[in-house]
Each structure stands twice: as structure tokens, then as C-alpha cells.
Structure 1
Amino acid sequence: MSTATSALPDAAALADWLRAHVRPFHGGVQIEPLTGGQSNPTYRVEAGDHRWVLRRKPPGVLLASAHAVEREYRVMRALADSAVPVPAMHVLCEDAAVLGTPFYVMDFVEGRVFARPDLPGLTPAERAAIFDAMNGVIAALHAVDVDAVGLGDYGRPQNYLARQLDRWTKQYRASETAAGLERHEPMERLIDWLQANRPDDEAVALVHGDFRIDNLIFHPSEPRVLAVLDWELSTLGHPLVDFAYHVMTWRVTPEEFRGLKGHDLAALGIPDEAAYVAAYAQRTGRPGRSGLDGLPNFEYHLAFNMFRMAAILQGILARSRQGSAASADAERTGRQARPMAEAGWRLVQQLEQRRAA
């Protein structure tokens, strides 16, 4: 979840609003920033025996369609009775006059959040169980009947990849221009290759857009996911693009972006990429297929996600330079944009070499 370097919400105004819209209580509220992410400022709010989480848009000028707390609220509320675990949602406030920007309030979920995918401090058996639970949740997400949960109009699934390429290219260039950042040639080559090689595949599902282990809350002692967080990039889109983003963890190093590349996975008890992909393929109805054979165009989707992550990181860097970043370590995080783009371009070069062989 996200931290906030901007001023805390007005405690008196928030207490009045919570009493009127969530539940009555006596006295004031205590507000504490929650740490972990880079997008929307997020706080734990306590009032007596009540504990909530408040998540709001950051202040300042924002890129178009970014920081969509309204969409986060809608999708988590829609998933309340599904197989995808989410916090209980209370109320959305779109009136910026209350706290300065729109926000929503949800239950505080007590549990474990793992910042690193190598899960230091756990046993190999515990790590294996955590990864299996995570695999089951993303498979369940992609199996959600969007019409049944009221999300049939949650996005425009047609031409998903084309629109995503256009959106993130525009946001990348807008960040580059706004913050006066230098042109990065590997990113430019990656963009050109993705545009020229885009596959024609229109599979549709509800997608999270940022499904990583640190966006999940696990049970305090069991290998069970209690809540999936940070839904601001969710939409109707291609499930394999969403899954490839998740699997990108196996393709990048910790230095490039919170990856597993370079770790001894067998010693850790963490499944290798092929085994993890095969488990997802089995869970999502691709029996008899294993590894990349069950997921068409999967390496294209991996390269696309490295491009998209580079664009997101560029936005974080731009916000840091402009003084409107949500996290205190935004500059360091944003500097990972270039290594991520370079990793994507290396993957493309390897794919092209295999095609030519």
C-alpha cells in the first residue's frame, strides 16, 4: 500500500465525515500513513475500537486516468462476494472539498504483507505454499464472470493491447516532457518493436494490472490471501497480459525491480517460472499444456509489461522531480525506469535471435 509525504488529512474534518457516512463514534481519529507503494496516499485511521483504511488521490496536477480511486472502490465493492479476496468497502467520497482530493474508506485487514518475493524468514515449505495461494488467486481473478458482478462495462476490451500501448507511450512521453527527462534509446526501440509486432488476440477478463506479492495481504499465520490491494490499474483486458506482468518477477533482478532472477529458487522452495506458469495454465483450463506452450504470445506480453512498468516508473520519477510523489523513496524507485526498459529490450533481442535461428 502507499505512503504519503504530503500533509495528513484534516483529522477533525475526517472524523465528522466518518461519523456521518460510516458509523458513529465518540472523540477524534488517529491517522497514520501506511507504507509500501508509489501511487495513492494511504492511511490507517483509528477511532476507538474501529480501524479503517483511507486511500485518496494525491494532490497536484495528475496524468490523465492516473490515480483512479473511484475505479478502485468500484471494483473491490463488486468483488465482495467473489472468489477474489478484497477488503470490505464502506464509502467513496468524490467531493474534493472534504479532504482536498477524492478518497474512499475500507476495512483495515490484519495480516502479512511481503515486500520481497524471495520471502526472507520463511521456510521452503512456507514459501511454496504462499506462491501456490498467490497462483490460485490470480487464476480466480481471471475466471470472474464480469457481467454477474456488475463489471461488464468496466473497460473497453476490444483492441486492448493497441490501446494500452498508446496509453502508456503517451504517459511515458508526458512524464518525460513534464520533468525534462532525457530520451532513452532502449525504451524507444522497445516501443517501436511492440507496435510493429502486436499480436491479434482478443481474450477478455477482469485484470488487476499490478498483481504482485506486495499488493496482497496474507493471513497472519496461514498461506492464505486475505485481500488483494491497489486496483487503480484494473480494467477489462487480456488475462495473459495481466499474468505476464505477474510472472515478470521471474525475469528481472531485485535491482531491476523486485525480481527473483539470480536467486536459487529450488533452495528457497519457490517454484521456477515453468512450474508456476503450468499451475496457472491448469487452473485456468489449459490441461495438457505446460510452460509457455499453454500461453500464446507470452514473451511478447512479458516485453510489453517491461515497457509498461518502465512507463509507470518514469511517471514516479517525474512526480518526484516535480515534488508531488506519494512516496519518500520515489526518486530511487523512479530511477529503475531505465533498467526496466533495458531488460525489456534485451528480452526482445533474445526473442528475435531465436526467431532467426
Structure 2
Amino acid sequence: MDGKGLGSGPLESVEPLAGGTQNLLLRFVRNGRTFILRRPPEHKRKNSDETMRREARVLGALADTDVPHPRLIAAEGDTDILGAAFYLMEPIDGFQATSGLPAFHASDPAVRRSMGFSFVDALLSLHAVDPATKNLDGFGKPDGYLERQVPRWQSQLESYNEMEGYPGPDLPYLAEIQAFLEANRPEPSPTGIIHGDYHLANVMFRPADGEIAAIVDWELATQGDPLIDLGLVVAFWPEADGAAGMMSIQPWDGFPAIDELVAHYDANSPRDLSSLDWYAVLACYKTGIILEGTHARAFAGKAPKEFGDLLHATTVGLFEKAGRIIGE
């Protein structure tokens, strides 16, 4: 930090932060300035360091945009300093709605309605960024992005059969979903920056109003068809009672219905949404397959059975939702 002109002296008020399930967050103060450090877990995965480098790169690319995001202070890709790549960012004055609403937001349905549209506005601002102007050459492989999706996730699902004791995927509409995705693949939307995991648990709202303070958790960001993100919104947006399998917000009344959010995106974007059902089905398929991996590992004794069963039930719900979309 000294070499980068980021103050001097000891680190003070050091504390870990909750919120990252795959990576670690640490807050500290130096010379009166607060920093947030993000790094991989102690037991790194094979691609942990490269994930940190990619996150820092995309946050740096967004610096002069309207996209609400954690502001990058500095990044270190070398693993010699902390044993892992890491970066420093500004703290966010905000809260995650899936962890509970403050009294101001919980007491006013109009504020919650604003939160819903702000959620889409933040995505619109990201999808309006032209990656060609942000020095993101080599950040992802946008060519053939949609064509690779079904074979890639089908292969991952088939790989779970190698797990000892796993009886194979017992998932509704599996064959129908795969056939639908292959037969109805659209022409890709113009290349943009994809967040890759855009849902209500990965945004922070401002305490004083219903606006987005920041989009967080950029580890799956890449270049490709941005409607991938909107498909995730459709797949994960809670139902009328606020429940949505992996996340829930209470109270839910006031939040816009998913049709209103899609109409809002459509009215403010030049992208063609006529094939949005395809992206929503893909989101259900992809996410369900990722979660099913924990179910398979549980059979092999590599994950808790209760957790595996819970994620399997979520996968079944996602596949059932995909089946409903196909049948509509």
C-alpha cells in the first residue's frame, strides 16, 4: 500500500465482513480511510487467483460509467504478498435486501416498488456499456457464446455420474428443456458485459431510498450476450408472496411483478426481447445443474446430505419453472 500511495502506518479496525460465500472480505482503516479487501478463501480453488484478477479488471473498466459498483482502489495480481491475488475497493453504504429490509423500506410499499425498478435500471446501465471501449480484449469469449451454453452444461450434468452413489439426475422436463434450448436458440444480442449472477442477493440498496448502491460479486462476469442476465432476473424474481426458492424478501408487497420489470427493460433498451423465454429457460437449466452438483457430491459423502437435498429441491423447482415457460 505504501508503494501505491495508499497511506502509511498500521491497519486499524480490522474486521471480516459477511456476504461472500466463495471469497473473503475484510474491512480495515488506514490513515482515516476505510478499505475493503477481497481475496480468495484460505483453501483456494484452481481458478481462485484468476477470478480475483478478472473481478478487478471489470471493476476498473466500469470506473467512468454510470454502473453502480464497488469502486476499485488498487489490485494486486501477484500471489507473493498474501499468498493469493487480491484487490482493494471502496466500502459501500448499503444493505442486501435478502438479509432483511430496514424499517424505512419495510414500512413503505412505494419504496419497495422503486427498489424493483432500480434493480432493472442498474442492469440497463451495465448492458449499455460497450466493452470495446473499455480495454477488455480477451475478457471472455463472446463469439459463439450462446452456442456453447447447452453442450457445456449438459456435459457438466453428465459428469456428476462419476460421483459414487449418485443415481443420476432425477429432474423434471430435462429432455424437453434441452430440446427446447437447442431448437430455439436465438441470434445473439449485441455483445456487452455480462454480470453472470444477477439477482437480488448480489445487489446492495441505499439506506435512504430505493436506489441501488452497488452491484456486487462480479466473479462470473464476462463478455457475451447480456440478455443472459435478464433471463436470470426472470428465473429468480420472487413470486407474488416474495418466495423464490433460493431467496426471499419480506414484506414483498409493492415490488413490481416480473412482467413490469421486463416491460421497463424493453422500454429503455434497444435489445430485442422476443426470445426472452429462451434466456429464462437457460437460466433455470444452468443454475439447476450447478446446484445439482452439490446433491451429487452429497451422495459421495463430499457434502452434507441435508444441504444436497435442499439444493436438489431448488433444482427441481427451477426445472419445473422452465417447463412452465416452455408450455406457455
Q: Give the alignment's TM-score, normalised by structure 2.
A: 0.82
Counterpart pick for 1:306 among 269, 278, 284: 284
Contact kept, 8 Å, 2:26 with 2:38, in 1: the verdict is yes
Secondary structure of 1:185's aligned partner: coil
1:41 match: 24
1:199 aligned onto 2:173: no
Describe the superposition over 1:100-155 as per-residue Cα deviations: whole angstroms up to 9, x where unpaired.
22211111122222225988724101101111212111111111111122225422
1:346 match: 320
RMSD after superposition: 3.5
1:230 aligned onto 2:204: no
1:244 match: 231
Contact kept, 8 Å, 1:59 with 1:324, in 2: the verdict is no
**C-alpha deviation, 1:196, in angstroms:** 3.4
Paired AA for residue 135 in structure 2: G
Contact kept, 8 Å, 1:22 with 1:91, in 2: the verdict is no
Contact kept, 8 Å, 2:292 with 2:315, in 1: the verdict is no
> Structure 1 residues 183, 47: CA separation in 2 closer, same or farther (over 3 Å shift)?
farther
Q: How does 1:53-64 map to 2 (within 5 A)?
A: 53-60=36-43, 62=45
Describe the superposition over 1:215-260 as per-residue Cα deviations: whole angstroms up to 9, x where unpaired.
2222221222222111111111222221110222336673621157
Counterpart pick for 1:297 among 275, 281, 289: 275
Secondary structure of 1:96's aligned partner: coil
Q: How does 1:158-169 map to 2 (within 5 A)?
A: 158-169=143-154
> Structure 1 residues 174, 52: CA separation in 2 closer, same or farther (over 3 Å shift)?
farther
Contact kept, 8 Å, 1:128 with 1:270, in 2: the verdict is yes
Distance in 1 between the 2:118 and 2:25 partners? 26
**C-alpha deviation, 1:353, in angstroms:** 4.0
1:256 match: 245
Secondary structure of 1:83's aligned partner: coil
1:138 aligned onto 2:123: yes
**C-alpha deviation, 1:76, in angstroms:** 0.7
Secondary structure of 1:91's aligned partner: strand
1:52 aligned onto 2:41: no
Contact kept, 8 Å, 2:180 with 2:326, in 1: the verdict is no
1:124 match: 109
Distance in 2 between the 1:32 and 1:331 partners? 32
Secondary structure of 2:132's aligned partner: coil
1:186 match: 171
> Structure 1 residues 222, 61: CA separation in 2 closer, same or farther (over 3 Å shift)?
closer
**C-alpha deviation, 1:332, in angstroms:** 6.7
Counterpart pick for 1:276 among 261, 277, 281: 261
Distance in 2 between the 1:255 and 1:132 partners? 18
The unaligned stretches of length 5 or more in structure 2 are none
Contact kept, 8 Å, 2:40 with 2:84, in 1: the verdict is yes
Describe the superposition over 1:56-107 as per-residue Cα deviations: whole angstroms up to 9, x where unpaired.
1234463668971111110110001111022221222223232222211111
Aligned pair count reads 322
> Structure 1 residues 334, 51: CA separation in 2 closer, same or farther (over 3 Å shift)?
farther
Counterpart pick for 1:209 among 196, 215, 225: 196
Q: Give the alignment's TM-score, normalised by structure 1.
A: 0.76
> Structure 1 residues 321, 222: CA separation in 2 closer, same or farther (over 3 Å shift)?
farther
1:156 match: 141
Distance in 2 between the 1:159 and 1:168 partners? 15
**C-alpha deviation, 1:347, in angstroms:** 3.2
2:54 match: 71
Contact kept, 8 Å, 1:54 with 1:105, in 2: the verdict is yes
> Structure 1 residues 295, 116: CA separation in 2 closer, same or farther (over 3 Å shift)?
farther
> Structure 1 residues 144, 116: CA separation in 2 closer, same or farther (over 3 Å shift)?
same
